[in-house]
């Protein structure tokens, strides 16, 4: 059963959203769509090739699907729904088109380091059935699009109030800026590394001097802050749900928003971000370990003395 553990949070989050009266239909349509998308775009290619990198195509286009469903099927105020859904679609398209370009360039023919690191982690957890672990990990990311990543979007898009609280504008702007800028960093780095074997590491040290240990760290930092932007922007709409949902469901939705922010940080730092990337960098360059000790991984700050 430990193989299925990555699915639990997404399944519980999706079940919570399906239990609401405000966006249960949205959640059913989105969840079904995400699973179908991941089946054909991610799971089948993984089964044929044994490479996890196809998640980088399925996940962002899952965001596009999420945004489209949110706008056309939500019953909230149209301008708020357009703003929130439009940001999600824009971000998904930028990442998805970038991933398709990487596929066109042949970069997906080799497993990305962060997914190579997954196999190391699985071995430490006693997971010797790699084919099963790959499928579970892929489905868990589809469930993330169906549950906690969709939660703040649906909460805001289903809000019928025409009032815009002050916290919503900077929160939404923060979300859009962080995700788009992070995506630009990520695919600029990928483009450099495709032309130059040492491009990734050179870019890593340049960006890390201000933000963290790797170039991926800048993306992690911006996307992690984006998770906080989602939380801030969704708070007024979550508060307005009280009275429309039972107290228990309302409280659980609030806890779900907090979990979304935390889950983005954990995923982007420990699961697919800094830790996997730095694992191989430290192996190739012994002096990189000293650099890690001097530079913050996530929160910006001055270099620390050895």
In angstroms, how far is the first alpha carbon of the chain from the final one? 43
Is the pLDDT at 246 greater than 90? The verdict is yes
Does the predicted TM-score (pTM) go above 0.85?
A: no
Is the pLDDT at 248 greater than 80? The verdict is yes
- List the one residue out of 127, 118, 130, 114 whose CA is nearest residue 49: 130
Does 304 reside within a domain?
A: no
pLDDT score of 165: 59
Is the pLDDT at 108 greater than 50? The verdict is yes
Does 80 reside within a domain?
A: yes
Number of domains observed in the structure of the chain: 1
pLDDT score of 287: 73
pLDDT score of 227: 62
**Domain region containing 11:** 2-294
pLDDT score of 265: 77
Q: Write the DSSP symbol of residue 305.
A: P
Q: What is the dihedral of CA 193, 196, 201, 204, to 10 degrees?
A: -50
* Phi, psi dihedrals of residue 242, rounded to the nearest 5°: -65, 130
Does 165 reside within a domain?
A: yes
- List the one residue out of 170, 146, 168 whose CA is nearest residue 159: 168
pLDDT score of 205: 36
Does 303 reside within a domain?
A: no
For 5, the enclosing helix (H) or strand (E) is none
């Amino acid at each position: 059963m430990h193989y299925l553990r990555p699915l639990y949070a997404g399944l519980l989050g999706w079940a919570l959203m399906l239990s609401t009266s405000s966006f249960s239909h949205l959640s059913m349509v989105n969840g079904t769509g995400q699973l179908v998308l991941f089946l054909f775009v991610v799971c089948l290619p993984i089964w044929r090739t044994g490479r996890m990198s196809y998640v980088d195509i399925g996940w962002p286009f899952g965001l596009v699907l999420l945004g489209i469903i949110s706008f056309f099927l939500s019953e909230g105020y149209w301008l708020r729904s357009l703003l929130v859904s439009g940001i999600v679609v824009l971000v998904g398209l930028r990442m998805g088109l970038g991933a398709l370009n990487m596929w066109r360039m042949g970069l997906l023919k080799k497993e990305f380091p962060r997914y190579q690191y997954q196999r190391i982690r699985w071995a430490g957890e006693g997971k010797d059935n790699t084919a099963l672990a790959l499928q579970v990990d892929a489905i868990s990311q589809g469930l993330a699009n169906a549950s906690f990543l969709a939660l703040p979007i649906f909460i805001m898009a289903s809000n019928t109030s025409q009032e815009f609280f002050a916290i919503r504008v900077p929160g939404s702007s923060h979300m859009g800026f962080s995700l788009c800028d992070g995506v630009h960093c990520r695919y600029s780095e990928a483009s450099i590394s495709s032309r130059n074997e040492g491009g990734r590491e050179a870019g890593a040290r340049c960006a890390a001097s201000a933000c963290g240990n790797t170039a991926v760290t800048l993306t992690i930092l911006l996307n992690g802050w984006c998770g906080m932007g989602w939380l801030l922007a969704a708070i007024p709409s979550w508060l307005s749900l009280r009275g429309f949902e039972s107290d228990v469901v309302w409280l659980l939705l609030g806890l779900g928003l907090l979990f979304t922010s935390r889950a983005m940080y954990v995923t982007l730092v420990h699961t697919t971000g800094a830790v996997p990337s730095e694992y191989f960098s430290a192996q190739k360059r012994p002096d990189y370990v000293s650099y890690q000790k001097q530079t913050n991984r996530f929160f910006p700050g001055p270099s620390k003395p050895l």
